[in-house]
Structure 1
Amino acid sequence: MPHQRLNPDTLYRAAGDVYSQIVRSEAGTQWHIAGMVPLDRNRQLVGEDDMAAQVRQVMHNVRLALDAVGAGPEHIVRIHIYTTDMDRFMTQGRELLYGFFGDAPPASTLLGVARLADARYLVEVEVTAVSG
């Protein structure tokens, strides 16, 4: 079965529509959610130079993506977190991000990077969810 690609209206559109926000693959049902950044659905940056505000927006976008496919945080099995400021993430964003999962924490990778797609982004998160 071919992959199903989704770009829900509740999320910001990919610049140039060069990637899908969500890709569905068969095998339980796996949901591969593209890197979520701190943009609202109108592509406006939320929380310039504010780690906590950016983490909240990123995880809000993760929730919108999960809602679009009928999944929840408990279905996330893998998360990749990219940050341009590890110290600020650890003190201002870590608890906010991981609190999203409650009692169902996923496997996780946290990476410090020199820069994200927009130099104003402090954090980006991609997840894999499995449901069904």
Structure 2
Amino acid sequence: MTITRTNPVGLHGTPGYHHVTVVSAGRTAYLAGQCPLDSTGALVGPGDVGAQVDQVVANTMAVLASIGAGPEDVVRTVIYVVSDDRSVLGGVWSRLRESPLAAAFASASTLLGVAQLGFTDQLVELDVTAALP
């Protein structure tokens, strides 16, 4: 299996992600949205977007490892942040790009500010698709 990431000529530059991710063949894993919940189901870091990003990263790393994949196998991410403040959105992007999951965000990625997520006080959620090695 080969994963190719490209930015077509004529499109705007990106802050780390690629416009297109192509997988040659193989199996694909669609992860449930990863939330900032600990192993007991408790929300981590109410009001603390950084703590919630860190928990989402830890949960995503655990899920990927459970299927024999790593951040480099991720082909698509969608990041949901409860905020309409561009500096908050940018801060989440930066924290993700500096995390152990950073390689996942070199693929096709979308960052969205939203009004609300599923759990009370939840600020971040991450949707991931991976091509299995």
Name the TM tier (shorter chain): 0.7 to 0.9
Percent identical:
42
Residue of structure 1 equivalent to 2:106: 105
* In 2: Cα distance, 1:53 partner to 1:89 partner: 14
Residue equivalent to 1:123? 124
Amino acid at match of 1:124: E
Equivalent residue for 1:80, pick from 71, 78, 81: 78
1:36 match: 34
Matched residues, number:
105
With normalisation by structure 2, the TM-score equals 0.73
Pair 1:89–1:130, CA change in 2 (3 A): same
CA contact (8 A) 1:78 1:128 kept: yes
| Aligned CA-pair RMSD | 1.7
Deviation, 1:28, is 0.8
Amino acid at match of 2:76: R
Aligned mates of 1:103, 1:119 — CA distance in 2: 27
1:41-52 to structure 2, matched below 5 A, reads 41-52=39-50
Moved >3 Å (runs of 4+): none
Q: Between the two structures, name the one with larger relative contact order (CA 8 Å, sep ≥ 6).
A: 2
Deviation at 1:101?
2.2
In structure 2, what is the Cα distance between the partners aligned to 1:103 and 1:113? 21
Summarize the Cα distance change of 1:106–1:48 in structure 2 as closer, same or farther, 3 Å threshold. same
Give the unaligned 5+ runs of structure 1: 1-26
In structure 2, runs of 5+ residues without a counterpart are 1-24
Deviation at 1:103, TM superposition (A): 8.5
The 1:90–1:77 alpha-carbon spacing in structure 2 relative to 1, beyond 3 Å, is same
Are the equivalent residues in 1 in contact too, given 2:35–2:125 (CA < 8 A)? yes
